[in-house]
Structure formats: structure tokens, C-alpha cells
């Protein structure tokens, strides 16, 4: 079973006169990168959220957002009356220095923006503990939904990966059938060319020399080992897809190895038909590599 790195999950709950909404989004990344956005009042929960995410996910760029909406008259912020009284007292002092020169108008909106007047509401340790438990519960629920979506997307990726592997297998079998004819074809071509040149001088070809030349060519263009290795990598690739839940890095490595074997076959085979099949194999491997970048 493989998982995509793309997904979305959310969870919602109303408790303690507060509406909580957790949203999680994940995109591709070679490593696990988390961006956690929490209201100031529950910033203490960030390490707990980070730990839960890392327990479940190994790769991807994950954005976690907690929305808190306060139900009723109370809100996330409150007026610090003592601080406000201090500012008002200072303004009265200024007014007294003006010696009754008119009435001083005070804009309440400006007062609310002064440092320390409008501040985050403070909660008791007991309330913070309940908030934390709610956040942890919602985080696990959202994470499970995210994982479900990543699994569904992973199945679609698996279908495409298996199709590309089938293309590679088909072309590799064709190459295996063509490989034995390469040496025989080379022998016939070189024998024909040598005979044509020697006929003009009324000489006969040296069979021993011809055999040595053909044997040297056969050793140089032997691709059986590369065919076996590529087939083995293909088998491993499909096996990892079925068994490994965190398969992305292994699959990426296997596609690199498959491409290396395909390039070697192309350079050694010295045959037009084999080269055509290698091109098809490399196209399929390129598609595999592209899709593997989406796998956890």
C-alpha cells in the first residue's frame, strides 16, 4: 500500500463555549516540513501538534491551521481595565496642565490600540488543559482523514505505476528476444564486407581471425546481465509498491537504477530495433520517476 503526499483533512468541535476547527493540507516534499498556525491563546499546544504529525507522516509539506471562534459574549481578547485607567489618568493630568483650555475629546478606538489595553484573554491551567485535550483529539481526527485521502490518491498512483511497469516489462521481453540475433547479424555483416574486399585481391577470409573479431564483439555487446538486473529492479519496484507504506525514497532509488540499466543496454546493444524498445522503456521510467515524487 502506498500513500500520496497530497491530501486534506479537517475536524470540528464545540466545547467550553468555543468552536474549534482544525484543517490540514499536505503537498509534495522530499522531507517532512510542517507549518503550524495556532491562535496566541493556545500557542502552548504547538509541540504536541508537531509530535502527533511526525508520528503519522514521514514526508510532505504539511500546513496545520487551528481556527477558534468564541461563542457568546466572551472573546479571545479582553480589555485590560487597569491599563486603560492608567492611560485615562495620564490624560487627565495633561488636561489639568492645559488649565481649562477647552474640552479634551478622547477616541475610544484609539485608546483600545494603545499598548497593553487590548490583550489576549488569560485562561486558568485547568481551562488550558481542557483546550489541549480538545486540540489533540481534533488533530488526530483531521490527521486520519488526511491519511485516508492520501491513501485514495495513492491507489490511483499505484494503478498508473503498474501500467508503466507493464510497458517496461513488455519492451524488456522484446529486447531479450532480439538480443541473440545481434551477434549473428554482426558476423554476417563483417563477413560480407571482408569477402567483398578480399574478392578483389583473390584472397580468402581468415576464419580464425573472423571468429576472434566476432567473439570480441559478442563480449562487448552482451546485454544479458543488464536485462536481468533491470527485470530484478522491476520486480522489486512492484513489491515495494504493495508492501511498503513509506515507499517513496526506495521507489525513487529503483527508478534511477532502472534508468541506468536501460542506458547501458542502449549503448551496448548496437541494434536499431533494440534501441527503439529502450526508448519506450525510458519513457515509461520517466513517467515512473514523475509519479514517485508524489509518494510518501
Task: Give the pLDDT score at 208.
Answer: 61
| pLDDT tens track, the chain, 296 positions | 788 999 999 999 987 678 899 999 999 998 899 999 998 888 999 999 999 999 999 889 999 999 988 765 555 556 666 666 676 667 666 666 555 555 566 666 666 666 655 556 667 788 889 889 999 999 999 999 999 999 999 999 999 999 999 999 999 999 888 877 765 665 555 555 555 555 555 545 556 665 665 555 555 667 788 889 999 999 999 999 888 667 888 999 999 999 999 998 887 777 788 889 999 999 999 999 999 998 88
Specify the DSSP element, H or E, that contains 193: helix 125-200
Task: Give the pLDDT score at 212.
Answer: 60
Task: Give the pLDDT score at 258.
Answer: 95
Q: β-strands 18-27, 32-37: how paired?
A: unpaired
Q: b vs e for 196-228, b when ≥16 Cβ sit within 10 Å of the residue's Cβ?
A: eeeeeeeeeeeeeeeeebbeebeeebebeebbe
Residue 39 CB neighbours (<10 A):
12
Task: Give the pLDDT score at 30.
Answer: 86
Give 3-state DSSP helix, strand, coil % of the chain, rounded to 5: 65, 15, 20
Q: Please give the full DSSP string across 65-97, using - where no structure is assigned.
A: EEEEEE-SS--SEEE-HHHHHHHHHHHHHHHHH
CA distance 27 to 25: 7
31 φ, ψ (degrees, to nearest 5): -125, -175
CA distance 61 to 55: 15
CA distance 237 to 82: 68
Task: Give the pLDDT score at 247.
Answer: 85
Task: Give the pLDDT score at 159.
Answer: 93
Task: Give the pLDDT score at 100.
Answer: 54
The DSSP 8-state label assigned to residue 234 in this structure reads: H
Report CA 140 to chain centroid distance, whole Å: 21
Task: Give the pLDDT score at 178.
Answer: 83
Q: Do the beta carbons of residue 139 and residue 34 sit within 8 Å? A: no
Grid cell at residue 118: 487590548
Q: Do the beta carbons of residue 259 and residue 234 sit within 8 Å? A: no
CA distance 168 to 72: 63
Q: Do the beta carbons of residue 117 and residue 87 sit within 8 Å? A: yes
Task: Give the pLDDT score at 204.
Answer: 57
* Residue 127: Cβ-neighbour burial (10 angstroms; 0-12, 13-18, 19+): middle
CA distance 283 to 38: 45
Task: Give the pLDDT score at 72.
Answer: 57
Q: pTM for the full model?
A: 0.69
Amino acid at each position: 500500500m502506498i500513500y500520496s503526499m497530497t491530501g486534506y483533512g479537517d475536524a470540528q468541535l464545540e466545547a467550553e463555549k468555543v468552536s474549534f476547527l482544525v484543517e490540514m493540507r499536505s503537498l509534495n516534499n522530499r522531507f517532512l516540513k510542517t507549518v503550524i498556525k495556532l491562535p496566541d491563546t493556545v500557542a502552548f499546544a504547538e509541540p504536541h501538534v508537531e509530535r502527533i504529525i511526525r508520528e503519522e507522516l514521514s514526508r510532505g509539506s504539511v500546513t496545520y491551521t487551528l481556527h477558534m471562534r468564541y461563542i457568546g459574549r466572551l472573546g479571545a481578547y479582553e480589555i485590560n481595565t487597569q491599563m486603560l485607567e492608567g492611560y485615562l489618568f495620564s490624560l487627565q493630568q495633561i488636561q489639568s496642565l492645559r488649565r481649562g483650555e477647552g474640552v479634551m475629546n478622547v477616541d475610544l478606538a484609539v485608546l483600545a490600540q494603545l499598548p497593553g489595553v487590548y490583550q489576549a484573554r488569560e485562561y486558568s491551567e485547568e481551562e488550558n488543559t481542557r483546550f489541549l485535550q480538545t486540540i489533540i483529539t481534533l488533530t488526530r481526527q483531521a490527521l486520519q482523514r488526511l491519511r485516508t485521502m492520501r491513501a485514495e490518491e495513492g491507489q490511483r498512483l499505484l494503478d498508473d505505476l503498474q501500467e508503466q511497469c507493464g510497458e517496461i516489462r513488455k519492451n524488456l521481453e522484446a529486447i531479450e528476444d532480439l538480443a541473440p540475433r545481434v551477434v549473428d547479424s554482426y558476423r554476417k555483416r563483417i563477413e560480407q564486407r571482408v569477402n567483398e574486399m578480399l574478392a578483389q585481391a583473390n584472397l580468402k577470409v581468415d576464419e580464425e581471425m573472423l571468429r576472434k573479431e566476432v567473439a570480441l564483439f559478442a563480449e562487448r555487446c552482451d546485454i544479458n546481465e543488464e536485462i536481468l538486473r533491470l527485470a530484478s529492479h522491476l520486480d522489486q519496484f512492484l513489491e515495494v509498491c504493495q508492501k511498503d507504506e513509506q515507499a517513496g525514497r526506495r521507489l525513487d532509488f529503483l527508478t534511477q537504477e532502472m534508468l541506468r540499466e536501460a542506458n547501458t543496454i542502449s549503448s551496448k546493444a548496437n541494434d536499431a530495433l533494440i534501441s527503439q524498445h529502450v526508448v519506450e522503456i525510458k519513457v515509461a521510467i520517466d513517467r515512473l520517476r514523475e509519479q514517485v515524487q508524489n509518494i510518501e
